[in-house]
Amino acid sequence: MPLPGLERLFDVCLRLKLSVETLPPAREPPRAGCSLEGLPFDPVLADVYARLGYAAFATELIGAGWTLDRSDDQVHKLKENNRWWRENWWEGLGEPVIVFGGDIYTYATVPSLADALGRQPVVEVDTYEPEAHVMPVASNVDRFFDSYSHYLEALAAHPRYQKSGDRELLFPWDMAEVLARDEQLVELIRAGRFESLMKNMQESNATRRWLAKVTGR
Amino acid sequence: MLLVFVLQAGCATGVPGRGSLMGLGHRPPTPPFFNAAAPARSPTASATGRGAGVPPASADTSAEAWAHGPEGMATSEEVRARARRLEEERAEALVWAAQREGREPTAAREAEAERALARVVGLCSGVEDVGAVLAFTFWVEDGALTLVGYQEERGSGSEGRPVEAPELTRVLRLVLTEYVGGRTGEVVLRLRREAARWAVDYDASRTAARPPEARRLPMRMPGTPAGTFLTFHEVAGKWMRAVQVPAGGASRVELEVWLEDGRLTGGQLREVRRTREGPGGSPLALSPEVAGRLVQVLLPFTEGLGARTVRVVLRAEHQPGEARARGRVESARVERPPPQPGQSWYLSMHEATLLRWREGVVEGTAWLAQRGVEELALWFALGIIAKGLGFFATEGLEWVTKALGREPEVVAGWLRTALRRLTPEEKAAFERLWAKVLLEGEQALGHSERKKLRGLFVRLEQAIQEPLDVDLKKELRKDARAYYAKLYPRFAKILQEQNKDLPIHHRRPLQYAHLFPDENVNAGENLVMLKEHVHQRVNFLWGRFRTARPNPTTDEARRAAEIIDRHFEPWYHRADEPPGMLKTVDDAREAALRELRSRFPGLE
């Protein structure tokens, strides 16, 4: 399966001279649909792990860099993290998810919201809060990489970043317009498919405003 | 022009310290903060640091031994010292940027020398008294010439022949560019009127403390702005008209002139004392030329920095038969207010920002707008401290006033975090208006601007007492992580690598930041790095606390944080498990839970 979003992310990092670290994939990477903590593994994520055992993008931008959990023949972080999440977070979230990487926050796919091709949407989970805060960020993993690459571009183009390295923009918070181009994601949000996961965000005015920007409502 | 620069560069190391154009001397020691005599440096290079008694924050980046744990962990005093050093590095970076961006330092040094030259020649031009001596005391640093004192001694009374200005100019240019301009320290330029020429000598051998008003950056502006010139003329005229000299007698006149940067903020005629009674008759007014002379002496002082007073002594004398009394400026010297904490930081940053304003190389507001609060918070904070809190004596300000009354680095950190709570429009207005106060003076604000700025402080007072919304928390977490990595550079790499698996925890949570409105929730003392599984247990406890106390008091939140800290401290500032621990992180959670239950009845 082509991964144009991931390729774009590599290109953007190269162009902006941002760091990229990768490790080769496992001899037998997790396959699409295989069981991880009893959940079907996302096919797009399976394609990613078929190419890479680990990746870290723009991590010199502390707070903005993003890393893919390592899963190769030496380290099984992907598996370990998902076990930890099943034991500690699934109940609180009210829905099982597969975590696969993150920046300050954890990024996860949601198997129950997979499309006809089995592609699972991506959410950001903020576990700094006593009750996790969830924000939808992409209709699938590759789309997330695409949006994140646009975020890095916007960050680098920001005048204050150019002058002083300030990272004024946050992903996905300041990228509502980019996320709004992900029609499948917008449809899922409009249909209320993330509502149960977002139950702890309902009191937040900022979240409501952000959702309205993404969905155009 | 290139030749002049080469000569200047040469004289930085090999020029005599004293003499009549030639002689021997020594180079005074450079001041401890910002070695401006050194070549332009990058912020990275400057991070090798000279913070008084404080190790540079970046010095421990290579300390592999501390890569995963807190052995030898910094005390809170050390954390504060590191925070100070970080602010100092920010200040250095700003100054460095100001020094380089859009400027030509060679041209600025040349302009600086030409300006001083024109002023010295101007003051010499009216002096015909043979034996009279004019002494100009400059603080010289990297080509910037700040006048700190002026003295005029009378001569024999015999009138000399006219002096050719071009010859004096030639000699002075040589002294200012070749011998004086490349030095750092105090230099006295002395000109003695002889019958048909001026004898010029200089003394750079005196050691003197660096005056706070001294500049480090030469300026390329051609002369005094017209507005400043007119203001001084008007005020000097008013003061001089108030002076009466006894007929045939003499008086000593003492003035105080109050300056802030290049602005005249006020002054007073302190004393007019008769030093010689005349034969009697109506006292006489001073000749109008005296006011002009006074202005000529005062204008070079406007190139200094900050708030200061120039104390001027004039000698006035009436010669029988003349319609007006004559007068001359005997001395003018700068008096400084007592130093304030962080003053050298402030003045350095202030000079850097003021420079764009004075030169107009890059439009000042645009340059500042590109910097942002992150960089400018220290300048804002120190400016607030320098101005005193009286300016903010607005009804309803309690927490803001309290927060602004602390040490500069604490105020800067607080302001940086607190301003996050304003909308982008409010923040932009705050930056614009406060920059105007600092660069042009409080009086430059119009009525509506003044009202708006005070309104923004009131708004800040309200905002810091409101719970943080989710977007603000995310911004502050990002800031906290970046700040922690700067505060503990040895953890920077692992923070990059482990991202979400190594959270930065707020000991007093962001959730309760509004209960501590005068404190910076992102202060170094409130931040700890811990492993995700430890963070999860800590968050579990805060979750229980929140359920039991949905609206806790400040004291309750503080006590809960203390309990949690006590039980989890061994896991703080660690990317691994603490060695030699008998209890597990689950034991810590249970023990903390028991203590929270006993302290907060109803907590489950």
**What pLDDT shows up at residue A201?**
80
C-alpha B499/C-alpha A57 separation (Å) is: 11
- For range A118-137, the mean pLDDT: 93
Q: Which of B375, B485, B503 comes nearest A128 by C-beta?
A: B503
C-alpha B420/C-alpha B410 separation (Å) is: 16
C-alpha A8/C-alpha A148 separation (Å) is: 10
Q: Which structure tokens are listed for B53?
A: 């008694």
Q: Considering only the C-alpha atoms of chain A, give the largest distance between any 2 of them, rounded to a whole number of Å.
A: 49
Q: Are the CB atoms for A127 and A92 separated by under 8 Å?
A: no
**What pLDDT shows up at residue B531?**
94
pLDDT interval class at A164 (50, 70, 90): low
- Please tell me whether the interface predicted TM-score (ipTM) of this complex is above 0.85: yes
CA distance A60 to chain B (A): 6
State the pairing for strand pair A98-102/A106-109.
antiparallel
**Residue in chain B nearest A92 by alpha carbon:** B540
Mean per-residue pLDDT of chain B: 83
Tell me the per-residue pLDDT of B34-68, one tens digit each, with 9 for 90 and over: 222 233 333 333 333 333 333 334 333 333 334 45
**What pLDDT shows up at residue B318?**
94
**What pLDDT shows up at residue B36?**
27
The candidate with the shortest Cα–Cα distance to B41, out of B84, B87, B97, B83, is: B97
Q: Are the CB atoms for A139 and A120 separated by under 8 Å?
A: no
The candidate with the shortest Cα–Cα distance to A180, out of A213, A145, A155, is: A213
Q: Which structure tokens are listed for B566?
A: 């006590």
**Bridge partners of A76?**
A71
Give yes or no for residue A67 having a pLDDT over 70: yes
Tell me the per-residue pLDDT of A73-113, one tens digit each, with 9 for 90 and over: 999 999 999 999 999 999 999 899 999 999 999 999 999 99
Tell me the per-residue pLDDT of B561-597, one tens digit each, with 9 for 90 and over: 999 999 999 999 999 888 888 899 999 999 999 999 9
- For range A108-128, the mean pLDDT: 96
Residues of chain B with C-beta less than 8 angstroms from the C-beta of A199: none
CB proximity B43 to A under 8 Å: no
The candidate with the shortest Cα–Cα distance to A159, out of B170, B428, B195, is: B428
Contacts of residue A14, Cβ cutoff 8 Å, sequence gap at least 6: A20
Burial class (CB in 10 A: 0-12, 13-18, 19+), B68: middle
CB proximity B533 to A under 8 Å: yes
Q: Which of B370, B470, B478 comes nearest A63 by C-beta?
A: B478
pLDDT < 50 regions, chain B: 1-16, 18-67, 71-72
Helices marked H in B214-287: 226-241
3-state secondary structure of B57: helix
C-alpha B467/C-alpha B412 separation (Å) is: 21
**What pLDDT shows up at residue B274?**
94
Q: What are the residue boundaries of the structural domains of chain B, listed by start?
A: 1-30+110-206, 363-463, 500-599
pLDDT interval class at A163 (50, 70, 90): low
DSSP state of A71: B
Phi first, then psi: what are they for A25, rounded to 5°? -70, 170
The candidate with the shortest Cα–Cα distance to B564, out of B580, B543, B547, B578, is: B543
CB proximity A22 to B under 8 Å: no
Residues of chain B with C-beta less than 8 angstroms from the C-beta of A62: 481-482, 485, 492, 495-496
Q: Which of A128, A167, A173 comes nearest B471 by C-beta?
A: A173
Q: Which of A67, A173, A210 comes nearest B499 by C-beta?
A: A67
Q: Are the CB atoms for A38 and A87 separated by under 8 Å?
A: no
**Alpha-carbon distances, residue B162 vs B128, B173, B195 (angstroms):** 7, 20, 8
Burial class (CB in 10 A: 0-12, 13-18, 19+), B97: middle
**What pLDDT shows up at residue B67?**
43
C-alpha B81/C-alpha A188 separation (Å) is: 50
Q: Are the CB atoms for B178 and B143 separated by under 8 Å?
A: no
What is the domain extent for residue A189? Answer: 4-215
Residue bearing tokens 């207005």: B429
**What pLDDT shows up at residue B230?**
93
CB proximity A177 to B under 8 Å: no
**What pLDDT shows up at residue B3?**
26
**Bridge partners of A136?**
A123
**Bridge partners of B308?**
B259
Residue bearing tokens 């929730």: B521
- For range A160-171, the mean pLDDT: 73
The candidate with the shortest Cα–Cα distance to B520, out of B483, B573, B555, B567, is: B483
C-alpha B139/C-alpha B145 separation (Å) is: 6
3-state secondary structure of B22: strand
- Structural domain count, chain A: 1
Q: Which of A56, A166, A201 comes nearest B374 by C-beta?
A: A166
Task: Say if the Cβ atoms of A104 and B477 lie within 8 Å.
Answer: yes
Give yes or no for residue A191 having a pLDDT over 60: yes
Task: Say if the Cβ atoms of B542 and A62 lie within 8 Å.
Answer: no
C-alpha B512/C-alpha B526 separation (Å) is: 12
CA distance A3 to chain B (A): 24
